Chain A
Amino acid sequence: MKIDRRSFLAFVLGGAAGTALSPLPWKLTDDLAIWTQNWPWTPVPQDGEVTYLNSTCTLCPGGCGIRVRKVDERVVNIEGMQGHPVNDGGLCTLGLAGVQLLYGPTRVTSPMKKVNGSWRKISWDAAIAEVVEKLSDLRAKGLPNTVACISESDRGTVAELFNRFLTVYGSPNFIRTPSIQDSYELALYLTQGVPAMAGFDVGNADFILSFGSGFIEGWESPVYMFKANSKLRDHNGRMDQVEPRLSKTAAKSDKWIAINPGTEGALALGLAHVIIKENLYNREFVAAYSSGFEAHKKIVIDGYPPDIVAKITGVDTATITALARDFAGARKPLAICGRGKGKTPGSLQEFLAVHTLNALMGNINKAGGIWAVPEPDYISWPELGMDNVASTGMQQRRVDGAGSDKYPHARYLLNRLPEVINSSQDSPIQMLLVASANPRYTLADSQSVAKAFEKIPLVVSFSSFMDETTVNADMILPNHVYLERYEDVPAARGFPKPIISLAQAVVDPLWNTRHSGDVIIQIAKQLGGPIADAFHWDSYHACLEESLADKWDTLVEKGYWIDEEFVAADWAEAFETESGKFEFTSKEIDALPQYNPLKAKGDETFYPLVLIPYDSMRLTDGYIGSPPFLVKSLEAYILQTNDVLVEVNPTTAKEYGLDDGSVAILRTPKGNARVKVQHYDGIMPGVIAMPRGLGHSAYDKFLAGKGANYNALIDVLEDPASGYDAAWGIRARLAKA
C-alpha cells in the first residue's frame, strides 16, 4: 500500500482523535498522578486499634502522669494525664518527645562488653557471670568498699535495691547525683530538725520571689510550677525574678531584678535586714516558734544594711527596700532558690538565707509557703543479715568524704569523687555501677571526670542509651526504657504533698534489655550467702508489688496514690530541733562558715568576664539526652548549624570587638570552646551566658557534636559550709576566632 501525504495525515489525525476520545490518556494520567503522590520511601503509618494506657513519666524527677497512646502495638504519642495532681494534662517538651527515646537510634540493644576498645554483644548470663566474678573477687580480697554506685535518686525500689545490695555486700559508697535537693534537705534539717523533702505550695502563694530559680524553666517539678505560675496570673499575684540575665522566668516575671551573679544570698539577707528593722516579720511565729532570732537579727542588722548589700549585689538601695516591703506586705509571700533547673546544689548559706526569709514571714508549713514533706516510707524490707566482710566494709569511710569530720552534713558528694580518684595512686574505686546517671557529661570539669573514670578498672553502665558514660564504660547491662518497665516514683520534686506514682510497661521490650531491678536481684542471688538472702524476691516485679502492698491496686488502676488530706505539720509539732522550734541559728549553724558570696574561679585580669549557664526547657541537661524534636525546637539564638551561641551584652561585645553573630573562642581556666556571639540586651554587661545541654559527644547525629558542653568549661566550687558544689559560674575570656 502506498502511503501518500493525504493518507498519512488522515492516519495521524485519526489516531490522535481516536486516542483522545478513548479513555486511555485520561486513565493513564490519573494513574500517573496517583503514582507521583505515593513514593514508596514515604512511610505510610499503619492504622489500627487505638488504646490509651496510664503511666508516669520518669525522664525527670517531676513525677508527671502520662497517657500513652498506642495504635495496635506501636506507641505513637504521649499526653499529660488529665486530672493528675502534679501536671493535670500538661506535659513538658521532653515528656512529649518520649516516644523518640523508645524508638530512637541510640538504644543499647543487648548486654555488651568492651573487648580491646570495641563493643561486643554478649549474653545476659555471661554478662552477669562476669560481674559476679569481679564482685566475688573484690569481696574475697576484703575490698568490698571499693565498689560504688552512682544513681540519680536514693528513693524508690530500684535505688533502694542498689543501695541494699551495696550495704549487704559491704560498701558505703552509694552516691546520689547532685542537685538542689541536697541543699534544701540540709536547710530543712538544720533549721527544722526534720528529714524531709522541700515542697512548695506555690499554687496558693500570692508573691513568689525567686532567687535565680528557673521557676518556669524546669525548676523542681516543671509542669507543676508552670501551672502554679498561670494560677498566679489568674489571681493577679506577683512573681519577681532575681537574676543577672533576662531568662524566660525573668521575662515572664512582674519585675526582673538584675543582680551581680553569685550574690543572691546577700540580697536575701538584705531583705531580711529591712523586714526585721521595720518590724515587718511575723511576730507570732518568731516569738513563739523560733529560736536564735536575736543572733540572726544581729547578723543581718549589722552586716547587711541596704547600702552594703547594694554594693555587693549591684541592686540599688531603693529597690532593696521596696522589694522587702512588698514581699513582707504580701498575704502569702514565698521565696525560692536554686539556680535554673537546680542541677547544682549551690551554697548552703544562700539556701539558709532564703529559707530564713520564709521563716520571717511565718510561711513555713502554711498555705502558700514551703512545706516539709515527709520522706516516703512504704519500703520496709526485712532486716539485713550482715556478715563480717559486709560489716567491716560498711565501717570504712565513704570515698567521697560525705559524713566525715570535714563534711559532716553532706550525704553524697559526687562532685568530690573525680578529685579523690585522681589524687590517689590506685583508684579507691575498683568497680563502679552507674544507674540512671551520666556523670561523664553532667559533672563539672569534664576532663578531670574523664581522667578519673579511666582510672576505674571496671565501669558497669545500666543505661538504656549510648550516653557519654556508657560509651566509655567497660560493660553495659542495659535497662528497659521507661515505657517498657514498671517502676515506682516515690515523690514529685517540690510537690507539697506525698505522692507515689507508678510507671507501667506500656509496650513489650523492643530489645534484649533487662530491668535493672531484676539484674541486681540476679547478681545478688548468684553471689550467694547473706547477699542472696537479702533478696528473697523472684523478680523485681514481685519486689515492687510487695513493697507497694495495699497501694498496688490503686497505682495500677489510677497511676498514682496521693495523700490528699496531707497538711504539713503545725508549728507546734513541726520542729524536731534541740529547741523544738525553728532555729534561725543554732550550735550547728553557728559552727558553719558565715555567708559570703562565693567568687567564681579564675584570674580576673586574664579572665575579665564571667561565664554563667542557663537552662532551657528545650534542652535536657541530666542523664537523658535531648531527643530530635527538642533539638529541632531550639531557638535560632541557641544553636546555628553546629555552633552554640553565647549571650553577650552589646556594650561588652563592643568593648571586645565582637560583632553580632561572629565566631569566637570562649576560654575559661578549665577549657575552651568555639562559640558564636549573640548580642543580647537582656544580659548584664561583663557576663556571658551559655545554655546547658549541648556539646554531647555521644548519642545520635541529631544531638552529638552540636555546640559545646558547659560542664567542660567549668570547675567545681566547693561550698565551705557543706562540701556540695556551689559553682554558679566561672571567669572567662572571649576573643575573636
Chain B
Amino acid sequence: MGWVLFPKLLYSQKQQPVAFNHALHNEEVDGGCESCHFFRDDGTYSGVPKLAQCVDCHEEMQGDSEAERIFVEEYVAKGREVPWLVYSRQPDCVFFSHAAHVILAEMECVTCHGPIGESESLKVYEENRISGYSRDIWGKNIAGIKRNSWDRMKMDDCSDCHRKENVNQGSVQTHKGGCFVCHK
C-alpha cells in the first residue's frame, strides 16, 4: 500500500500551462530537436524556447485547437513568457554543459531526456513537495530502479557515465570525477 500511497503524498500533480505536441512540431521542422532547443554562438544552450522564438510561427493562430487558442491569446498576444515546468530542471549548484555532451561526445538527446520528442502531449509534472524538483530527477521508481538511461537524473547517474567514459577522473578525495566539472 505504501508503494502506491507514498508517491501520492510526496508529489503534487501539476499541469503544463499549454498543451504541447512535440511530435507535431518535429514533423514541421527540419533540424530535429535543435530547431527549437539550440546552441547559442557562445556554446551555451538555449534550453526551453522563449516566447520570441515561438512567435516566429505563432504570431497568428496555427489551426484551431484549444491549446493554440490559449497559447496565442494568453501568451503571444500579451507578450508573456510561458511558465513551462521543466522536467529536467536541476538545482542551481549544477553546471551542465550540453556542448560537452551533444557536440563533443556526440550523444543523442534521447539518452538523457528519453523519447520526449515523439510525445503528442506533455505528461503531468509531478513536483516533489519537499525538494521542489520534478519526479523525473529521482526517477519514476521510488526505489530508484532504472531501466532506461533516461530514467533518472541524479548525480550518481552523471558520475557513473563519467566513470565509464573516463571523463575527468581527477578527484583526489574520491578518485572519481572532479567536482568542478559539473558544479559551479
Which chain A residues have a beta carbon within 8 Å of chain B's beta carbons? 22-24, 26-28, 30-32, 34-35, 37-38, 44-45, 47, 49-50
Contact = CB atoms under 8 A, between A and B. Distances in A.
A37 B93 contact: yes
Contact of A35 (B44, B46, B130): B130
Determine chain A's interface SS by DSSP, over half rule: helix
Contacts of B44: 49-50
Contacts of A44: 92
Interface stretch (B19-27, B68-76, B137-145, B166-174): B137-145
Contact of B10 (A22, A31, A50): A31
A67 to B, nearest CB: 14
Contacts of A47: 47
B37 to A, nearest CB: 14
Given A23-B144, A27-B138, A38 B131 contact: yes
A603 B92 CA distance: 63
Contacts of B6: 24
30 contacts: A22-B2, A23-B143, A23-B144, A27-B10, A27-B138, A27-B142, A27-B144, A30-B131, A30-B138, A31-B10, A31-B128, A31-B130, A31-B131, A32-B130, A34-B91, A34-B132, A34-B133, A35-B130, A35-B132, A37-B93, A38-B91, A38-B131, A38-B132, A45-B92, A47-B47, A49-B44, A49-B46, A50-B40, A50-B42, A50-B44
B15 to A, nearest CB: 22
Interface of B: 2, 6, 10, 40, 42, 44, 46-47, 91-93, 128, 130-133, 138, 142-144
Contacts of A31: 10, 128, 130-131
Task: With a 10 A CB-CB cut-off, give which of B91, B131, B133 has the most chain A CB atoms.
Answer: B131
B143 A34 contact: no
A16 B10 CA distance: 21
Contacts of B46: 49
A229 to B, nearest CB: 34
A416 to B, nearest CB: 55
A34 B130 CA distance: 8
B2 A38 contact: no
Given A30-B138, A38-B131, 13 more contacts: A22-B2, A27-B142, A30-B131, A31-B10, A31-B128, A34-B91, A34-B130, A34-B133, A35-B130, A35-B132, A37-B93, A47-B47, A50-B44
Closest 6 CB pairs of A and B: A34-B131, A31-B130, A23-B143, A31-B131, A44-B92, A35-B130
Contacts of B92: 38, 44-45
Nearest to B93: A37
A45 B92 CA distance: 9
B7 to A, nearest CB: 10
A30 B142 CA distance: 12
B29 to A, nearest CB: 20
Contacts of A32: 130
Given A34-B91, A38-B91, A23 B131 contact: no
A26 B156 CA distance: 14
A600 to B, nearest CB: 55
